[in-house]
Chain A
Amino acid sequence: MNAADEVMDICLLAGEIMLTYGAETYRVEETLERMARAAGFTNVHCFTTTTGIFLSFEERKGKEDLMQMVRIDDRMQDLNKVTEVNQVSREFTSGELSVEEAHERLESIYHSPVNYPIWLIHLAAGVAGSGFSYLFGGGLGDLLPAFIAAIAASVALVEFERYLKVRFAAELAAAFLGGSAAIFLVFIGLGFNLDQIIIGSLMPLVPGVPLTNAVRDLLSGDLLAGMSRGVEALMTSLSIASGIALSISLFI
């Protein structure tokens, strides 16, 4: 295997990790171009959309250009992996890492589990939900029901995503279950402000990463990626709204 092929592999692996776990498009393009240039190749071009990466460069003058693409199927949120890949690319560009070391580091990032255990993520969703229910005008007595409902929504989201292949269906189901849990808790007398409890329990489902990235992508001129990310965020928000609308019209 020659050097150009290996550099192509680590570049695309880095790009795949970054794009899958929620980096902005311009960051992916810039990182890949920098890494390829640092390895000594010329005529480097990278084109990235939300669902795929194209990378091409020239090994030396007179030889044919290399060109490869990867398709990105899943889009998740794990900013820790983005940060770590950023670190690897920085060290690779400044010459501290060899190609093999960079490949090893990227492989271990790719296969490493999520930074925090899943029970902690559910707990964090509960804390975030109850905090926001107070900020949106709930009382101190609404903290506990919002906590429980937010945990229910978060658990439902993770479990449904594991079994359902259809996008946005998991968000709809999670919003439905979170809203139903909130309505049930208020019905048995725990908590008073139903609206604030429901809002709080749904806040952890808000697609914060795609929304922010959509703005950033549109501004840096990646119009295609920005539009598609924006639509993704909009669809997620709409499915959350339909889920909660369903539970409200069923139970109230």
Chain B
Amino acid sequence: MNLLIESVLTFAAIIGFGIIFSVPRRALLLGGCIGVVTWLVLQTGTAIGASSVIATVMASLTAATIAHLLAKKIRIPVTTLSIPGILPLVPGSRAYFTMLSFVEGEYIQGLEYGVETMLQAGAIAAGLVLALSIFSFGKGIGNRYETGH
């Protein structure tokens, strides 16, 4: 029951965000669905005992993968789908408590929250990177040596 309310509210919130970012109409509902899936993956990850960073990587990877697949299908830039997809993972709560701790002068506590915020943000980026590397397979550009010659 609780999960149902959360899913409905995630859907509504992501649609709201889609309107704020002015996502085109045909991608609005899809973005909301991806957001709900992301939230469910995050909850599942936490429920089976993964740490919040690992759960976030999994959720972000799922969101980015679905976004890449759908974007190819309906011919739309990937960002219009991946941004709504990763929104439920944004560590807004931890960022706020970081700021609150610093305001109250509890610097050690603030640093702890700050590190957690950075890790969470890094985990979202890692998920995006993984999905991107999967979908750019075979388009290597070469970093150190000219391969493929």
Contacts and interface: CB of A to CB of B under 8 A. Distances in A.
Closest 4 CB pairs of A and B: A131-B13, A128-B16, A124-B19, A127-B16
Main secondary structure, interface of A, reads helix
Interface string A201-214: 01110101101110
B80 A124 contact: no
B40 interface: no
A220 B93 CA distance: 30
A16 interface: no
7 contacts: A22-B79, A80-B24, A83-B24, A116-B22, A127-B13, A127-B15, A208-B87
Interface in A225-252: 237, 241, 244-245, 248-249
A87 B75 CA distance: 8
B96 A199 contact: yes
B70 interface: no
Interface string B59-103: 000000000000000011101101100111010110111111011
Given A131-B9, A219-B132, A244-B96, A124 B141 contact: no
A135 B39 contact: yes
Contacts of A202: 92, 96
A108 interface: no
Contacts of B92: 132, 136, 199, 202-203, 206
Interface residues of B, number: 47
Contacts of B25: 115
Interface of A: 22-24, 27, 77-84, 86-87, 90, 114-116, 120-121, 123-132, 134-137, 140, 154, 195-196, 198-199, 202-204, 206, 208-209, 211-213, 215-216, 219, 221, 237, 241, 244-245, 248-249
B22 A77 contact: yes
B77 A83 contact: yes
B20 A244 contact: no
A90 B75 contact: yes
Nearest to B93: A136
A22 B24 CA distance: 14
Contacts of B12: 127-128, 131
B53 interface: no
Nearest to A238: B99
Given A128-B17, A212-B86, A241 B22 contact: no
A211 B90 CA distance: 11
Given A79-B22, A80-B23, A219-B132, A137 B79 contact: no
